[in-house]
Structure 1
Amino acid sequence: MGGPTFSFNRNADTTSRNFERRTARPSSTPWRSRVPASPAPHPVDELLPPPKLLAYGLQHIAAMYAGVVAPPLIIGTAVGLSSGELTLLIGAALLTSGLATLLQTLGLWRIGSRLPFVNGISFAGVAPMLAIVKQSHPGQALPAIYGALLIAGAAAFLAAPWFSRFNRFFPPVVSGTVITLIGLSLFPVAAGWSQGGNPAAADYGSVANITLAGVTLAVVLVLNRFLRGFLGSISILLGLVVGTLVAIPFGKTDFGALGKVPVFSMPSPFHFGAPTFQLGAIISMLIVMLVSMTESTADLLALGEIVDRPADERTIEGGLRADGAATVLAACLNGFAATAFAQNIGLIALTKVRSRYVVATSGVVLILLGLFPVAGAVVSVVPQPVLGGAGLALFGTVTASGIRTLTAARLDESGNLLTVAVALGFGVLPIAAPNFYAHFPSLVQTVMNSGISAGCLVAVALNVFFNQLGRRGDVEAPELPREREMAAH
């Protein structure tokens, strides 16, 4: 039926000549030109030259470094660790963040989103972990935290297929709101960096710090305006270098830390003791992972729109599995819960560099920073106000991306308009009034004090209420941007 057909001619020579004529290659046409050219890879799968991979990867490190080291610094100080143990804790955070980023970008089996998705230490777990420290006897806090993280990470891994089905609840009216909130919720981080990073410091909020942040922002804007090609796309990294050089004469850089850290350090599993399993700590970490999964889902959807590869159910499932697996691994190697870093999404939106191998390179660099603490100390030389100036551009880009997504949400309909308005209100509340939920149970505080989680939950609920629950026949469901584009054609 489907195989080749053969016709026999009495004249064998004629048959042979016909066959040769059909199969002969014209001498004037090279054989290679007859082979169809393979299609160009999607920008997400593009493998750039090593120098560009390293330069772009270092930009991601600069954008996320402070966020990775802050949680272990806070928890380690609260536990009362020595300077050597604190260095070990920070190194473990960098190492596990790098491993989690590699798992997300390169993937293993059905683990990983295979998008330029940066993973780091979740800030959502800081407050619950501080509560565990207060309730634990000396020397028992970290084992209790790591035991709870083992359970929570495994639960997130197993729940990923079910949780990923929530994708249908994220049309443009929801995803655009959440992307906008991701940017807005990061502005306080940029403001804190711009003021100096440490509220207890004598010069916190000084004119010098804020001026340095402004100079860095101006340098980034000027470089982005006048540079083209490769140099233009690393304007953030160049701005950080220029800002750091400007800060040296004013004494804003501290090179003393370079001589106080070991050159190389191998992680030792369960360095702080065998994990213990306390019900209260486990419940707290399960809530943290639920919040982290909600944020990661929103971040995956935002990233998918930015890189023009929308995150489908399987992509979200792989991304959430990576979060769970990385959290289990982090608990074994003295790290903390892993989740998405929204500031790096802003970097991708600003530079337009969408290759996941760039982010994988940053993961390799993070691993090296974890294994070679002295290298991590070099990165930490960048002053906080310099990071703050660059952060204003990065986080503002995320907010603008969310607003762009909302343009496809048909805000002329009152239901969609109210969904955005109320969800933004709930998302901004923890920023405008940090103590708004101070008298609520800890469970409510954990969820609602995250502006991203609060706004995401409210946006999903209101979208279901206005557009799905008992929807009238004359009201259409909001279209996804890609569906609208196909309909237009």
Structure 2
Amino acid sequence: METKVEKKGLTVGVNEDISFGQAFILGLQHVLAMDVYVPPFIIATAVGMSSPEAAGLIQSTFLGAGIASLIQVLFFLKLPVCQGPSFVPLGAIIGIYLGSKGMDTVLGASVIGALAVVLLGLTGVYKYIVRKFIPSIVSGTIIMIVGLTLLPSAFTGNIYVSSESLSVNQNILLAAITAATLIIFSMLGEYFPRLGKIFRISSVIIALALGSVVASFMGGLDFSSVSEASFLSLPNLAFVDFGLKFNSSAILTMLVIYMVLLAETTGTWYAVSAVTEESVTDEQINKGVIGEGLGCLTAALVGTTPVTGYSTNAGIISITGVASKKVFVMASVWFIILSFLGKLSALIHAIPSAVIGGVFSVVCVIIMLSGFRVIKNQEFSERELYIIGVPLIFAIGLLFMPAEVKQSAPQFIQYLLDSPIALSAIVAVAMNKLIPETK
């Protein structure tokens, strides 16, 4: 099976060379646009990590993303795509962390899941799974569910909260200002193509910076943790800062999570394929799965959560017209360099939660609508409505499930109930197979 793509008028192709200076700047641009610090920030906030612990997790995330990206770009998938921490397993990871009181069990389960992914690629099984179980209606529904289920956490965990320095009303105002700034600067790229590209690419950084400035005038910005952090420091590593614990319930949960994560990353590969004028073959998919597994294994060993391909890169390639793999090698190098800058990680963690929430809420909506874009060309008979609608019902129902109901379930089920994305994705696959197609 080979996916055909149409020419999109790239100025620099995938295998073409560009100058070091261009690669240096464009690589940093991809890094800034990917927002890889958001998942570790959410985890650190949800489980109550201290500032040094949170900074260490963010540094480990940068290091894992950098190494995993090099693995894919140079050796396996060989497409211009960067790896970053996936949003899919966030709920399950937080549940496992709180249930086991630490990262050891999370990392142990992640290692086993990553090895299973490598095995799927080595045996060539995954390409048959894609053909049989993950058509566009299923992958689009999963992407919609990712955005839908993460959106409430932007409000309940980041915006509708109060602290010693900021009230709930102030946090709502901060989030609104940050989100509006992000949207305005992003849209400038549509109306002012030349100058607007710079603003659009930098819109996330500009929004975070402006939101933080407004927070400082409100008295809600504290840089004490930044001043105390070392300029250079090591990320948290397995076998050094963490051990590896293997819990059967956590492992089963992460195995399910990894299958959903593969569905997510496969969609990203096809998105990148479409804008780079490169076809994706079955052999390339298998190699990409092996690279995905090795990248996730590396991420676990450097003390962070599973990684996946980021569809953000496809958007930036469309804007710049530059698809050279050299840019993505340099982006990987940027990730690795940033992973050793302790003050940078502490600075990211110092950003008020409401500012992060304003950006995160917009990101969630874009993710959700990206899923709709995937399925919008489907012919919506009653069968398709149920395939899309029932998983959405499950996702919303799991979001509002009472805590006592979850706690009465076995541990493995509790972890899955904490991950609406995983369970809803399973429902989407099941609905697509169980409801027969009309002739």
TM-score (norm 1): 0.71
Are the equivalent residues in 1 in contact too, given 2:165–2:220 (CA < 8 A)? no
Uncovered stretches (5+) of structure 2, i.e. residues with no partner: 1-8
3-state secondary structure, aligned to 2:274: coil
Residue 348 of structure 2 is matched in structure 1 by 379
- Residue 40 (structure 2) aligned to one of 48, 60, 68: 68
Which runs of structure 2 are paired with 1:272-283 in the superposition (5 Å)?
Answer: 272=241, 275=244, 278=246, 281-283=247-249
User: Distance between the aligned counterparts of 1:350 and 1:392, measured in 2?
Assistant: 20
Answer yes or no: is 1:252 the counterpart of 2:220. Answer: yes
Are the equivalent residues in 1 in contact too, given 2:95–2:418 (CA < 8 A)? no
Residue 408 of structure 1 is matched in structure 2 by 377
Are the equivalent residues in 2 in contact too, given 1:180–1:399 (CA < 8 A)? yes
Residue 291 of structure 1, CA deviation: 1.0
Residue 120 of structure 2 is matched in structure 1 by 159
Answer yes or no: is 1:120 the counterpart of 2:81. Answer: no
Deviates more, 1:255-264 or 1:438-447: 438-447
TM-score (norm 2): 0.78
* Cα separation, partners in 2 of 1:126 and 1:220, compared to 1, 3 Å: closer
CA offsets per residue over residues 19-73 of structure 1, 9 Å max, x none? Answer: xxxxxxxxxxxxxxxxxxx98555798965533432342132xx23131244467
Bigger RCO of structures 1 and 2 (CA < 8 A, at least 6 apart): 2
* Cα separation, partners in 2 of 1:39 and 1:129, compared to 1, 3 Å: closer
3-state secondary structure, aligned to 1:174: helix
User: Distance between the aligned counterparts of 1:391 and 1:347, measured in 2?
Assistant: 18
Answer yes or no: is 1:178 the counterpart of 2:142. Answer: yes
* Cα separation, partners in 2 of 1:382 and 1:103, compared to 1, 3 Å: farther
User: Distance between the aligned counterparts of 2:218 and 2:356, measured in 1?
Assistant: 16
Identity value in percent: 21
User: Distance between the aligned counterparts of 1:346 and 1:451, measured in 2?
Assistant: 23
Residue 159 of structure 1, CA deviation: 2.5
Residue 450 of structure 1, CA deviation: 2.1
Uncovered stretches (5+) of structure 1, i.e. residues with no partner: 1-37, 134-140, 476-489
* Cα separation, partners in 2 of 1:217 and 1:330, compared to 1, 3 Å: closer
3-state secondary structure, aligned to 1:340: strand
Residue 33 of structure 2 is matched in structure 1 by 59
* Cα separation, partners in 2 of 1:319 and 1:345, compared to 1, 3 Å: same
* Cα separation, partners in 2 of 1:419 and 1:73, compared to 1, 3 Å: closer
Residue identity matched to 1:67: P
- Residue 213 (structure 1) aligned to one of 172, 175, 178: 175
Are the equivalent residues in 2 in contact too, given 1:73–1:90 (CA < 8 A)? no
User: Distance between the aligned counterparts of 1:66 and 1:305, measured in 2?
Assistant: 22
User: Distance between the aligned counterparts of 1:451 and 1:213, measured in 2?
Assistant: 25
Answer yes or no: is 1:308 the counterpart of 2:274. Answer: yes
User: How many residue pairs get matched?
Assistant: 408
User: Distance between the aligned counterparts of 1:404 and 1:54, measured in 2?
Assistant: 28
User: Distance between the aligned counterparts of 1:45 and 1:452, measured in 2?
Assistant: 38
Residue 314 of structure 1, CA deviation: 4.3
Residue identity matched to 1:222: I
User: Distance between the aligned counterparts of 1:447 and 1:72, measured in 2?
Assistant: 20
Larger radius of gyration: 1
3-state secondary structure, aligned to 1:433: coil
User: Distance between the aligned counterparts of 1:205 and 1:376, measured in 2?
Assistant: 25
